[in-house]
Amino acid sequence: MPFRVEIRAAFGNARFKCQRCGSCCHHRRPDEFDDLVPPERQAEFWQKSNLIYLTGKDIDKISKKTGLNPDEFVDTLYEEKKGSVRIEDEGRKVILDLPVMKSKDSDGTCVFYKEGKGCTIYSLRPTACRLFPFVVVEKSGPQGGILLEIKYNPTCPGMGKGKEPDRRKLEKLVLDQFTERMEAIGPRVQRLRMEGKILPDAAIYRTMPGKRRRDE
């Protein structure tokens, strides 16, 4: 990666023990956000939502082991199921459409969740599921770098129970997930910058996949 990436655990002495309650398998898409989440509201969005972001490796592994086509379990706002980079407003607006796990229209649960049984692909679960209830908030770091802050979702019933998490393990999961994502979209963003299609002060938007379909 051509820039410095710093990982910071920002959850104090938090403890966690999974309660097998399935709350993390119920995906929240907050109504107060539109399909595109602007940069100034992304921290708020991450606090209020719990979408499961997928890497290309997650998608390939699940598809190979289950025999499912990515269309059956991946949500993106646009058609490309492994994510896309779109440029609008003459280079002033960059839209990152990152893939997330699809939810059932009936109750918002993950398509792989079954009542009474829980996760039906537990051994294949994505990195984001392995991290939960710990979440990553991306911020601008020093000298143009990126700061990845590891926080936690306070709505998880398992917080405050059990033992303190293995910080090194969490940091490795976070770095692996970020690296896979950058390998997927980084070259495209860099090429667009070199071609002058992305302005230096462009605002970066994230999408909220799935909401449009739900509201139709």
What is the helix (H) or strand (E) element at residue 47, kind and residue range? Answer: helix 42-48
Cross-strand pairs, 101: 74
Report the SS3 class of residue 97: strand
CA distances from 169 to 53, 59, 134, 150, 163 (A): 19, 22, 12, 12, 14
What letters, b where the CB count within 10 A reaches 16 and e where it falls short, cover 179-204? eebbebbeeebeebeeeeebeeebee
The per-residue pLDDT string of the chain (216 residues; one tens digit each, 9 = 90 and over) reads 456 788 888 888 889 998 888 888 999 899 999 999 999 998 889 888 889 999 999 999 999 999 999 999 999 999 999 999 999 999 999 999 999 999 998 889 999 999 888 899 999 999 989 888 888 887 776 666 788 888 888 888 999 998 988 888 899 999 888 888 888 888 899 899 999 999 999 999 999 998 754 444
Q: What is the pLDDT of residue 1?
A: 44
pLDDT at 141: 66
The rounded distance, in Å, linking the Cα atoms of 121 and 111 is 10
In a domain, 195, yes or no: yes
- Residue 70's domain comprises 5-211
pLDDT at residue number 3: 60
Residue 175 lies in a domain: yes
pLDDT of 65: 96
Which structure tokens are listed for 76?
């993106």
How many domains is the chain partitioned into structurally?
A: 1
Whether residue 133 is preceded by a cis peptide bond, meaning omega within 30 degrees of 0, is yes
Is 216 domain-assigned?
A: no
How confident is the model at residue 92, as a pLDDT?
95
In 54-202, which ranges are E strands?
A: 74-75, 84-88, 93-97, 100-101, 113-114, 118-119, 134-140, 146-152
Gap between the Cα atoms of 132 and 16, Å rounded: 10
